[in-house]
Structure 1
Amino acid sequence: MHKHLQILSLLLCFSAAAATAAPGDLLAGYSALAGRSADAAQGQRLFTSSQGGEWSCASCHQALPTVAGRHASTGKRIDALAPAFNPQRFSDPAKVEKWFRRNCKDVLSRECTAAEKADLLAWLISLKP
């Protein structure tokens, strides 16, 4: 089975409705795939620093993603990324995988690992009002 399908299948198992998920369920799924606990501090470093390319995650989502940001090249508004500030974030496993795939390729020039996804999500979940 293709790696993305394996990840998505595992994430869907954590979801009671199979169409929605809680951010904590997704975090548990990514941590299980990574074989380790998530590291929120590492997630923050990954989010805020450039990974050798032109952009970081913070380029569009803001250094503290509790407010709306703007796409670095198009200027399109991007709603707050932290789940406590935008309950729709990290609620649809298919969308989560889609955006991780796109954004990781933009920032890292490759797909994120399960450990990187877990770390990023752990940090985003830790941000509270």
Structure 2
Amino acid sequence: MTGHRFGRRAGPALLLLVAAGAAAPGLADPGPAQRAVLDRQAAAARAADAGFVPSAERGRALFMSRPAAGKPDTPSCTSCHTTNLARTGQARAGKVIEPLAPSAVPTRLSDPATVDKWFSRNCPDVLGRDCSPAERADLVAFLIAQ
């Protein structure tokens, strides 16, 4: 069997299962609002690459990555959100951040405007640039699987 069995027209439910690893035991089943946010982010990424499929693993790698060598003052996602997304985090200014995991806070990642706002604020701080549409979709795939 080749890797093209489902082709480029795989339905949103299949994409979500692949992207979020929903078949793996212990992962949260995202709600309709989180699925809609993922579908929206994935559609933006597919505008640049018609064959794009969100990857929770790529999102995990990006989220867990450390600042580049020589840039110790650059935060990483885990600097504020911790590596356990079901736990409370803390911004560099001391503000408490509710857990990112929808399994801990069911409303997390359910509002597209809020998701866009935080990507627009945090990507430049962490990556030194805006996140690409593919990176956003991969990050949402990872986060909704938590």
Length-normalised TM-score, structure 2: 0.68
* Displacement of 1:50: 2.0
In structure 1, C-alpha distance between the alignment counterparts of 2:55 and 2:67, rounded to whole Å: 18
Which residue of structure 2 aligns with residue 64 of structure 1?
A: 84
* Displacement of 1:110: 1.1
Structure 2: stretches of 5+ with no match in the other structure? 1-31, 47-51
Residue 37 (structure 2) pairs with residue 26 (structure 1): yes
Letter of the structure 2 residue corresponding to residue 65 of structure 1: L
Between stretches 101-110 and 80-89, larger displacement belongs to 80-89
Which residue of structure 2 aligns with residue 15 of structure 1?
A: none
* Displacement of 1:51: 4.3
Residue 54 (structure 2) pairs with residue 38 (structure 1): yes
Structure 1: stretches of 5+ with no match in the other structure? 1-20
Letter of the structure 1 residue corresponding to residue 77 of structure 2: C
Q: Please say if residues 68 and 80 of structure 1, whose CA atoms lie closer than 8 Å, have aligned partners that are also in contact.
A: yes
In structure 2, C-alpha distance between the alignment counterparts of 1:30 and 1:96, rounded to whole Å: 10
Cα distance change of structure 1 residues 51 and 42 upon mapping to structure 2, 3 Å threshold: farther
* Displacement of 1:27: 0.6
Q: Please say if residues 109 and 144 of structure 2, whose CA atoms lie closer than 8 Å, have aligned partners that are also in contact.
A: no
In structure 1, C-alpha distance between the alignment counterparts of 2:67 and 2:127, rounded to whole Å: 6
Identity, % of aligned positions: 44
* Displacement of 1:29: 1.2
Which residue of structure 2 aligns with residue 101 of structure 1?
A: 120
Q: Please say if residues 37 and 111 of structure 2, whose CA atoms lie closer than 8 Å, have aligned partners that are also in contact.
A: no
* Displacement of 1:64: 2.0
Residue 89 (structure 2) pairs with residue 78 (structure 1): no
* Displacement of 1:117: 0.8
Letter of the structure 1 residue corresponding to residue 58 of structure 2: Q
In structure 2, C-alpha distance between the alignment counterparts of 1:106 and 1:28, rounded to whole Å: 25
Letter of the structure 2 residue corresponding to residue 26 of structure 1: V
Residue 65 (structure 2) pairs with residue 55 (structure 1): no
Q: Please say if residues 50 and 107 of structure 1, whose CA atoms lie closer than 8 Å, have aligned partners that are also in contact.
A: no
In structure 2, C-alpha distance between the alignment counterparts of 1:38 and 1:86, rounded to whole Å: 22
Between stretches 55-64 and 82-91, larger displacement belongs to 82-91
In structure 2, C-alpha distance between the alignment counterparts of 1:55 and 1:114, rounded to whole Å: 21
Q: Compare CA radii of gyration and give the structure with the larger one.
A: 2
